[in-house]
């Protein structure tokens, strides 16, 4: 018998003109060599380190914080759970009361993905406006619980208190993965999550994937 997995792509696409967070560099994917001209295709990629689905390392906000290349690999690889907040209204700020039903999952080393279904707005400009967000109290509570990673299908954990919320999490060594997609395709039970970044400093685009055990089949 062998284990068969099902894979869910949790990443936003990268393409020329893909929207970037306001103020970030524009996204461009330019084919600069072609099979017809030189014998192979080769593209030039130009975008910010926080384009699309991406990972924030502590160095993003903390001068002495760890850079991407110094993070442990299991920071972004391991068992994870989705916390379902899909019923949240635009602009809603999550409080500690919203996490009451997930208390047993918010534990040291946990990887938690917050589902709002906000990725359905991408690539419209409204994707970057009035997204649900974390209160500073929640960010500090998650940090105190020593979770390893917090991810969300919004472009940021907070618009109103962007600096304070980032600092609360990153100062505690919590890795942040922003701009996830398709969290509605993940189960309520535990699954394997990976969001592999490029080598880098403050952050990096990632290819995020959920890996689900589908079944066992006979192996010949």
Which of 112, 107, 47 lies closest to 83, judged by CA? 112
Assigned CATH for 2-13+49-217: 3.50.30.50
Give me the pLDDT at residue 218, please.
46
Pairing of strands 54-56, 77-84: unpaired
Q: What is the pTM of this model?
A: 0.93
pLDDT at residue 216 in the model:
47
Q: Which residues of the chain register pLDDT less than 50? A: 1, 215-220
CA torsion, ordered 182, 23, 135, 85, to nearest 10 deg: -10
The token pair that represents 120 in the structure block: 């359905």
CA 132 → CA 33, 61, 151, 155, 178, distances in Å? 42, 21, 13, 10, 13
The 8-class DSSP code of residue 70 comes to: G
Residues 22 and 128 sit within 8 Å (Cβ to Cβ) = yes
Q: In this predicted structure, what is the pLDDT of residue 215?
A: 47
**String of DSSP letters for 190-220:** -EEEEEEEPS-SSEEEEEEEEEEEEEEE---
Task: From 132, 111, 105, 108, select the one nearest 120 (Cα to Cα).
Answer: 132
10 within 8 A of 214, measured Cβ to Cβ: no
d(CA 46, CA 18): 11
Kindly report, residue by residue over 78-134, the tens digit of the pLDDT: 999 999 999 999 999 999 999 999 999 999 999 999 999 999 999 999 999 999 999
Residue 208 has a pLDDT of 98
Q: Please give the pLDDT value at position 217.
A: 44
Q: Closest Cα partner for 176 from 200, 199, 203, 207?
A: 203
Please report, for the chain, the start and end positions of each structural domain, with discontinuous segments joined by +: 2-13+49-217
Give 45's DSSP letter. Answer: E
């Amino acid at each position: 018998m062998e284990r068969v997995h099902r894979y869910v792509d949790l990443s936003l696409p990268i393409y020329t003109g893909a929207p970037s967070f306001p103020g970030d560099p524009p996204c461009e994917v330019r084919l600069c060599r072609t099979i017809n001209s030189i014998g192979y295709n080769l593209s030039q990629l130009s975008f910010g380190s926080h384009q699309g689905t991406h990972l924030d390392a502590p160095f993003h906000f903390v001068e002495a914080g760890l850079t991407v290349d110094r993070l442990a690999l299991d920071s972004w690889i391991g068992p994870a759970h989705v916390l379902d907040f899909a019923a949240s209204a635009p602009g809603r700020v999550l409080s500690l009361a919203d996490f009451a039903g997930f208390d047993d999952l918010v534990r040291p080393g946990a990887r938690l993905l917050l589902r709002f279904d906000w990725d359905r707005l991408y690539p419209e400009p409204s994707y970057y406006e009035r997204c649900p967000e974390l209160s500073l109290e929640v960010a500090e509570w998650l940090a105190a619980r020593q979770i390893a990673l917090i991810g969300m299908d919004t472009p940021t954990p907070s618009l109103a208190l962007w600096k304070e919320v980032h600092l609360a999490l990153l100062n505690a060594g919590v890795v942040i993965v922003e701009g996830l997609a398709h969290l509605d395709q993940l189960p309520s039970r535990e699954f394997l999550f990976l969001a592999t970044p490029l080598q880098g400093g403050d952050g990096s685009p990632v290819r995020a994937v959920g890996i689900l055990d589908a079944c066992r089949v006979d192996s010949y």
